[in-house]
Amino acid sequence: MPKTYEGALLAEGLRFAIVASRFNDLITQRLLSGALDTLTRHGAAEDAIEVVWVPGAFEVPLAAQQLAASGRYEAVICLGAIIRGATPHFDYVASECAKGIAQASLSTGRPVIFGIVTADSIEQALERAGANPPGGETMKIGLIGDTHGDLSAWEKAVAGPFRGADMILHAGDILYHGPKNPMVPGYAPAALAEAINRSPAPVILVRGNCDSDVDQLVLDSPIQAPYALVQVEGLRVLVNHGDGLTREEMIAQAQRYRATVFVSGHTHIPGVERVGDVILANPGSPALPKGAPPRPTVAVIEDGAARLIDLASGQTLQEVALT
Ligand code: INI
C-alpha 319/C-alpha 312 separation (Å) is 17
Q: What does the mean pLDDT of the chain come to?
A: 93
pLDDT in tens, 154-168: 999 999 999 999 999
Q: How far is the CA of 165 from the centre of ligand 1 (A)?
A: 35
Q: Where are the domains of the chain?
A: 16-128, 141-321
**Chain centroid to CA 183:** 28
Compute the average pLDDT of residues 233-256: 93
Nearest residue to 239 via CA among 260, 267, 214: 260
C-alpha 111/C-alpha 90 separation (Å) is 25
- Is 89 among the residues known to form the active site? yes
Q: How far is the CA of 60 from the centre of ligand 1 (A)?
A: 10
| Catalytic one of 89, 177, 241, 268 | 89
Band of the pLDDT at 233, cuts 50, 70, 90? Answer: confident
Q: How far is the CA of 147 from the centre of ligand 1 (A)?
A: 51
C-alpha 314/C-alpha 281 separation (Å) is 18
- Give SS3 for 268: coil
pLDDT beyond 80 at 234: no
C-alpha 255/C-alpha 95 separation (Å) is 57
pLDDT in tens, 166-207: 999 999 999 999 888 888 889 999 999 999 999 989 999 999
Band of the pLDDT at 131, cuts 50, 70, 90? Answer: low
pLDDT beyond 80 at 257: yes
- Give SS3 for 266: coil
Pocket mutation for ligand 1, best pick of 23, 28, 91 (most atoms within 8 Å of C-beta): 23
pLDDT in tens, 75-118: 999 999 999 987 889 999 999 999 999 999 999 999 999 999 99
Band of the pLDDT at 135, cuts 50, 70, 90? Answer: very low
Nearest residue to 296 via CA among 104, 156, 175: 156
The minimum-distance atom of ligand 1 relative to the CA of 90 is 9
Band of the pLDDT at 133, cuts 50, 70, 90? Answer: very low
Smallest CA separation from ligand 1 atom 12, residue: 56
pLDDT in tens, 207-217: 999 999 999 99
16-128: what CATH class? alpha beta
Nearest residue to 237 via CA among 289, 171, 297: 171
Smallest CA separation from ligand 1 atom 1, residue: 56
Which positions ≥6 away from 220 have C-beta within 8 Å?
196, 197
Q: By the 8 A CB rule, do 299 and 283 touch?
A: yes
What is the structure's pLDDT at 138? 62
Instruction: Quickly list H helices, the chain.
Output: 25-41, 60-70, 89-108, 122-128, 151-159, 189-198, 247-256
Using CA of residue 171, residue 174, residue 180, residue 185, what is the dihedral sign? Answer: positive
Compute the average pLDDT of residues 50-68: 98
pLDDT in tens, 27-55: 999 999 889 988 998 899 999 999 999 99
The minimum-distance atom of ligand 1 relative to the CA of 54 is 17
Pocket mutation for ligand 1, best pick of 93, 96, 117 (most atoms within 8 Å of C-beta): 93
CATH code at 141-321:
3.60.21.10
Ligand 1 pocket, residues with Cβ under 6 angstroms = 21, 23-24, 55-59, 80-83, 85, 89-90, 93
3-state secondary structure 220-231: CCCCCCCEEEEE
Smallest CA separation from ligand 1 atom 6, residue: 82
What is the structure's pLDDT at 35? 94
